[in-house]
Amino acid sequence: MEDTIAAISTPVGKGAVSIIRISGTDSLEVAKKLFHSKSLFYDKILPRFMYLGNFDIDDNEKEKCLMVYFKAPFSYTGEDIVEFQLHGGTFVTQKMLERILNNGARLAMPGEFSRRAFENGKISLDEAESIIDEINAQSEGELKASLMQSRGQLKVKIEKLQNELTECIAKIEATLDYPEEDFEKSAKEEIIKTVEKCKDQIQSFIQNSQRSQYLKNGINVAIVGSPNVGKSSLMNALIGEDISIVTDIEGTTRDMLSASTNYKMIRINYIDTAGIRETENKVEKIGIEKSKKSAQEADVVLFVLDGSRNMSQEDRDIEKSVKKFKNVIKIVNKIDKKRILPKMDNEIEISAVNKKNIEKIEEEIYKIVIEDKIDFNKQIITSERQLEILKTCQSLINQILQNKNQSMDIIALLIKKLWNELGKITGKSENEEIIDMIFSKFCLGK
Ligand SMILES: Nc1nc2c(ncn2[C@@H]2O[C@H](COP(=O)(O)OP(=O)(O)OP(=O)(O)O)[C@@H](O)[C@H]2O)c(=O)[nH]1
Ligand SMILES: [Mg+2]
């Protein structure tokens, strides 16, 4: 039997309400020693019923709080759970936990509640991982992705694939028992069909997941252009704060500076860079190299021009070098001044100092990176681990297809491997190591 564990389940120092959770066979026994209420008789306690009462902090001091009992197996962990909810701050909460730990429970390890939930069949591995993501989610989009996962949709789909593969394995075993030519041939055809179907599904999971990386990491946007066109002014306008130095001296920005904002649930990370030009200045040169590199690595490049003058040779050189990037937005700045620069296709006119049309840039970034590309209603994979597994599956599938003319036992071996690999997502391939790894990423109390 598992021992009884306890921890504070709410984030330290945040929020008005704290929750202490106890899980295990002795949960009620522990509570009985410490919590008293006129309406509560421990031998007749009602599960899922809130009891208001007092918790003995020590001999003289009591803390008013709520207690609720979840009877096994109808609880998060599948075990008996007792939860205390209190309004006290960090100190009182800590004190209560200490009392609980001195009265029959031990401190839970990070992720231990969820691990027990998994072990008792309450959540799948897939759901457990998404709980970690929910806890760590930074933007709403990211949260949505992990919520989708926590409904276990990926697990359901992958389990289905696993079941189909199980049938394949059964078929192969049958052909080994009855090695008549015809039977083997038709079985093989069916097996290859199933494997091809797996291939398509997994490919679409992977594709969607690569897009969903934007949800997780945000979109990286490099602001490039020649000196003095107003890159830093634009950066400040986008962020809504004066974080980058602006002067009328060419070559003001020497080092890269990045800052983020949220737009429609997505984080956008802007990188202000040094104006690109020929220079002998050593520091500026390094800055320019960094600019070029950040443009290469960015998801979107904002190519900024000064609308109040014609294109310089430098502008033209930069234009040429950004042409090879896939998402480039031409920004014509300083439209508060008289426009000299000829009109171009697909440009966005702005005034960084007057903060005019800044939102158009955000809209455009969102449009070219996110719209039509991420379908929030589709399965989105946010976990790096799951993506790696799916990639391994992909290469196993390719191996199977390449070896389809080999003997049945070779194919069977590869299909079993594939089945096991998929099981690392559904939890249907008893591998302790993976399970340990996932739950170790949880924080205490979850
Ligand atoms: N009239 C007008 N002036 C602007 C605008 N945006 C920037 N400027 C001016 O242009 C000059 C250069 O601005 P910065 O933002 O420092 O330009 P930069 O591209 O970052 O320059 P470097 O860092 O040197 O490459 C400053 O004097 C700004 O005040 C604008 O929209 N309208
Ligand atoms: Mg600058």
**What CATH number labels 5-108?**
3.30.1360.120
Q: Residue 270 has which token pair? A: 């802007």
Average pLDDT over residues 236-254: 88
Q: How far is the CA of 272 from the centre of ligand 2 (A)?
A: 7
State if residue 247 touches ligand 1 by the CB under 6 angstroms criterion. yes
Cis peptide before 110 (omega within 30 of 0): no
Q: How far is the CA of 352 from the centre of ligand 1 (A)?
A: 8
CB 201 within 8 A of CB 161: yes
The DSSP output letter for 2 is P
Q: How far is the CA of 222 from the centre of ligand 1 (A)?
A: 16
Q: Where are the domains of the chain?
A: 5-108, 139-214+383-439, 222-369
Q: How far is the CA of 334 from the centre of ligand 1 (A)?
A: 8
The predicted pLDDT at position 55 comes to 95
The DSSP output letter for 264 is T
State if residue 379 touches ligand 1 by the CB under 6 angstroms criterion. no
Atom of ligand 1 minimally distant from the CA of 352:
31
State if residue 351 touches ligand 1 by the CB under 6 angstroms criterion. yes
Number of Cβ within a 10 Å radius of residue 262: 14
State if residue 242 touches ligand 1 by the CB under 6 angstroms criterion. no
pLDDT one-digit tens code per residue, 101-144: 999 999 888 778 988 888 888 887 777 777 766 666 555 555 55
- Mutate-to-test residue for ligand 1 from 236, 241, 246, 336, highest number of ligand atoms within 8 A of CB: 246
The DSSP output letter for 64 is E
- Mutate-to-test residue for ligand 1 from 223, 226, 228, 315, highest number of ligand atoms within 8 A of CB: 228
Q: Which fold has domain 139-214+383-439?
A: Four Helix Bundle (Hemerythrin (Met), subunit A) (1.20.120)
With a threshold of 0.85, does the pTM exceed it? no
Question: What amino acid occupies position 235?
Answer: M
The predicted pLDDT at position 380 comes to 52
pLDDT one-digit tens code per residue, 282-329: 888 888 888 888 888 888 999 999 999 999 999 999 999 888 887 899
Nearest in space to 243 (alpha carbons), one of 226, 260, 228: 260
Average pLDDT over residues 232-258: 89
Q: Where are the alpha helices (DSSP H) in 370-407?
A: 384-402
Which residue is closest in CA terms to ligand 1's atom 14?
230
State if residue 230 touches ligand 1 by the CB under 6 angstroms criterion. yes
Angle at 432 between CA 173 and CA 191, to 5 degrees: 25
pLDDT category at 12 given cuts 50, 70, 90 is low
pLDDT one-digit tens code per residue, 406-440: 888 888 888 888 988 998 888 776 455 555 655 66
Angle at 76 between CA 70 and CA 82, to 5 degrees: 35
Domain 222-369 coded CATH 3.30.70.1450: no
State if residue 273 touches ligand 1 by the CB under 6 angstroms criterion. no
Task: Quote the CA–CA distance of 200 and 102 in Å, as a whole number.
Answer: 55
Q: How far is the CA of 279 from the centre of ligand 2 (A)?
A: 15
Residues 6+ apart with CB under 8 A from 356: 335, 336, 350
Please report how many Cα atoms fall inside a 13 Å half-sphere around the Cα of residue 153, on the Cβ side. Answer: 14
Q: How far is the CA of 269 from the centre of ligand 1 (A)?
A: 20
pLDDT at residue 95 greater than cutoff 80: yes
Whole-number percent of the chain with pLDDT over 90 = 40
The pocket of ion ligand 2, defined by CB under 5 A, consists of: 231-232, 252-253
State if residue 227 touches ligand 1 by the CB under 6 angstroms criterion. yes
Interhelix angle 384-402/125-136, nearest 10 degrees: 140
